[in-house]
């Protein structure tokens, strides 16, 4: 069992040799979202019978049995805090080295009500004040060594068989309770805390709830951005304000980090269309996404009358707060073919429920576009995102006419000018500039990229472009870890996507027909 990206080959493509020119052009996958009711038992009473440890193991076994390709779970919480508080002297809470742990203040002493203590701890520190644990987190956010904590997260992982899993972010009050399990590798992963929370009708500020983002690789040059979320609960004024802020925060993040990309958002939104104060429409209105339930079960018609689901639900017509949104892009056509509640598949042996939420599932098919495609990525997950795909999507026959690179010790910037005068440039102003002007019938057809380590981070060190006539342009310093990306036969390189700052940290290429 591997708990990580084998892609920790540092980037999202092989480290040497040639990237495959023949791409898989069609495929399909399944998704599941499940709020697993995993808060510590002393904090949560949700009418779910049975022992949480046993239930968690059962849930994990069902994940393995049904083998959904992408699984987003919410409320996966460590028992670590409750165990350490209730059963001393196990408690590891102490002041530890700030540089090693990120904890800059002493942990508050444990006194009085446990719930109040944890809330106080979270509000005072909002950081980890735990002694270091024997756990390694990869550069792209995956677990590379099984954590030794006692937690419900570990019990789910114990019986599940998915090869790729996110590392736990900790227990109450430290962790968000969000995790993802996948049959597909990924090249990006981020955890983001909500900007706004409310305790108006619950304890949403007790833990750093928020959302996660990962960029999954479906096939060579085929990527989809996957978001998991758990918004503020409740219907008091403060709850509604916080929840709508949460939804807006995800929508804005998509605009920046997933610009021009195919996207999946599925998780616990705590929102209903029939509760008009919930701004759940923000994903369709701002991000151009489709609600799979609304599309397939309601014919695209937004409901105006509330229809609460039973648990387990006997119909897919009713509305739940757990939702799945999607969109394709110019590279990837994405379509939902099925949506349903999986409640009957997630029951205890005696027929009792395993969660107070109905798990939701959706099936998707995909195929590559005919006007734009992309390569895999080279480099590491650092710097600000960029993508030329949105600009290229509006052009009928883009063609590179001038290539401009900068580099010396590493690759500082990449740029090109299209035949119609449109210019793309990404990175900094350092290094030496190199320029190549292409002929009218000359196309940029392949790029060699070399990467390496700088200050503990994976960066791109070198680029060499080769045209259809055999001419080349290079910048930077070559390393022993290189990949050559070649456009499919009859296609050309016309743009870039990746991440950059003063240098080009991550780089992929956009292809268009010649």
Altogether, the residues listed in the chain come to a count of 514
128-156 mean pLDDT:
47
Helix (H) or strand (E) holding 433, with range, is strand 432-437
pLDDT of residue 162: 97
The answer on 317 and 382 residing in a single domain is: no
Distance CA 168, CA 176 (A): 9
Q: What is the value of pTM for the model shown? A: 0.84
Q: Is residue 45 scored above 60 in pLDDT? A: no
Query: pLDDT over 70 for what percent of the chain?
Result: 78
Distance CA 114, CA 82 (A): 8
Decide: 210 and 194 in contact? Cβ < 8 Å.
yes
The answer on 349 and 201 residing in a single domain is: yes
**328: nearest Cα among 180, 230, 222, 228:** 222
pLDDT of residue 154: 85
The CATH number of residue 466's host domain is 2.100.10.30
- What's the token pair of residue 384? 């600000």
The answer on 183 and 44 residing in a single domain is: yes
Distance CA 339, CA 362 (A): 4
- What's the token pair of residue 434? 């190199």
pLDDT of residue 23: 73
176-201 mean pLDDT:
94
CA 53 to chain centre: 27
The answer on 379 and 353 residing in a single domain is: no
Residue position matching structure tokens 């009085």: 112
Query: Which stretch of 67-81, 127-141, 383-397 has the lowest confidence by average pLDDT?
Result: 127-141
- Looking at per-residue pLDDT, the higher value among 502 and 45 belongs to 502
Residue 500 β-bridge partners: 384, 504
The number of domains in the chain is 2
Picking from 368, 387, 406, the residue at the C-terminal end of a domain is 368
The answer on 401 and 355 residing in a single domain is: no
Distance CA 379, CA 389 (A): 19
Distance CA 38, CA 53 (A): 9
- What's the token pair of residue 98? 């700030």
- What's the token pair of residue 7? 């892609």
pLDDT of residue 259: 97
- What's the token pair of residue 486? 């070649």
Distance CA 71, CA 62 (A): 11
pLDDT band at 204 (very low <50, low <70, confident <90, very high): confident
The answer on 492 and 433 residing in a single domain is: yes
Residue 174 DSSP one-character state? T
Query: Which stretch of 13-22, 27-36, 360-369 has the lowest confidence by average pLDDT?
Result: 13-22
The answer on 497 and 454 residing in a single domain is: yes
The answer on 438 and 297 residing in a single domain is: no
The answer on 408 and 275 residing in a single domain is: no
Query: Which stretch of 99-113, 177-191, 435-449 has the lowest confidence by average pLDDT?
Result: 99-113
Helices and strands in the chain, H and E counts: 9, 25
pLDDT of residue 40: 56
How crowded is the C-beta side of 326, counted as CA atoms within 13 Å?
25
Beta strand 26-38 with 164-165: parallel, antiparallel or unpaired? unpaired
**360: nearest Cα among 386, 342, 387:** 342
Decide: 12 and 214 in contact? Cβ < 8 Å.
no
The answer on 327 and 360 residing in a single domain is: yes
pLDDT tens column, 354-378: 999 999 999 999 999 999 999 999 9
Q: Taking the C-alpha atoms of 387, 392, 393 and 396 in order, what is their torsion angle to the nearest 10 degrees?
A: -170
Decide: 483 and 13 in contact? Cβ < 8 Å.
yes
Q: Is residue 6 scored above 60 in pLDDT? A: no
Distance CA 444, CA 415 (A): 13
The answer on 384 and 314 residing in a single domain is: no
For 462, the domain range is 373-513
For helices 152-159 and 52-66, angle between their N-to-C axes, nearest 10 degrees: 40
């Amino acid at each position: 069992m591997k708990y990580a990206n084998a892609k920790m080959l540092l980037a999202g493509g092989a480290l040497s040799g040639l990237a495959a020119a023949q791409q898989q052009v069609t495929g399909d996958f399944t998704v599941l979202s499940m709020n697993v009711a995993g808060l510590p038992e002393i904090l949560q009473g949700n009418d779910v019978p049975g022992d949480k440890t046993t239930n968690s193991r059962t849930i994990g076994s069902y994940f393995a049995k049904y083998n959904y390709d992408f699984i987003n779970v919410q409320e996966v919480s460590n028992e670590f805090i409750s165990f350490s508080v209730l059963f001393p002297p196990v408690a590891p809470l102490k002041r530890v080295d700030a540089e090693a742990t990120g904890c800059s203040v002493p942990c508050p002493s444990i006194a009085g009500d446990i719930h109040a203590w944890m809330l106080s701890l979270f509000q005072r520190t909002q950081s980890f004040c735990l002694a270091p644990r024997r756990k390694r987190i990869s550069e792209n956010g995956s677990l590379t060594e099984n954590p030794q904590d006692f937690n419900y997260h570990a019990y789910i992982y114990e019986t599940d068989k998915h090869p790729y899993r996110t590392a736990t972010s900790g227990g109450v009050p430290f962790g968000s309770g969000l995790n993802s399990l996948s049959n597909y590798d990924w090249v990006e992963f981020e955890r983001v805390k909500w900007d706004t929370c409310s305790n108006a009708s619950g304890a949403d500020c007790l833990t750093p709830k928020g959302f996660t983002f990962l960029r999954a690789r479906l096939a060579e040059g085929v990527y989809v951005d996957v978001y998991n979320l758990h918004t503020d609960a409740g219907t008091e004024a403060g709850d509604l304000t916080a929840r709508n802020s949460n939804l807006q925060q995800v929508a804005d993040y998509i605009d920046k980090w997933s610009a021009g990309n195919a996207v999946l958002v599925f998780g616990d939104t705590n929102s209903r269309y029939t509760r008009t104060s919930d701004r759940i429409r923000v994903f369709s209105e701002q991000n151009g996404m489709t609600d799979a339930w609304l599309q397939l079960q309601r014919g695209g018609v937004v409901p105006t009358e509330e229809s609460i689901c039973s648990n387990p639900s006997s119909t897919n017509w009713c509305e739940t707060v757990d939702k799945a949104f999607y969109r394709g892009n110019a590279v990837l056509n994405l379509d939902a073919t099925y949506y349903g509640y999986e409640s009957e598949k997630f029951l205890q042996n005696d027929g009792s429920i395993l969660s107070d939420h109905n798990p939701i599932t959706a099936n998707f098919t995909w195929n590559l576009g005919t006007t734009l495609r992309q390569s895999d990525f080279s480099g590491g997950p650092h710097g600000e995102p960029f993508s030329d795909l949105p600009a290229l999507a509006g052009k009928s026959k883009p063609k590179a006419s001038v290539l401009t690179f900068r580099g010396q010790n590493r690759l500082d910037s990449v740029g090109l000018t299209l035949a119609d005068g449109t210019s793309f440039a990404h990175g900094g102003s350092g290094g030496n500039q190199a320029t190549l002007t292409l002929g009218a019938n000359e196309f940029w057809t392949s790029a060699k990229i070399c990467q390496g380590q700088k200050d503990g981070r994976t960066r791109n060190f070198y680029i060499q472009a080769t045209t259809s006539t055999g001419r080349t342009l290079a910048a930077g310093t070559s390393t022993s870890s290189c990949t050559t990306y070649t456009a499919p036969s009859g296609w050309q390189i016309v743009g870039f996507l990746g991440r950059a700052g003063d240098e080009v940290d991550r780089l992929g290429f956009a292809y268009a027909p010649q």
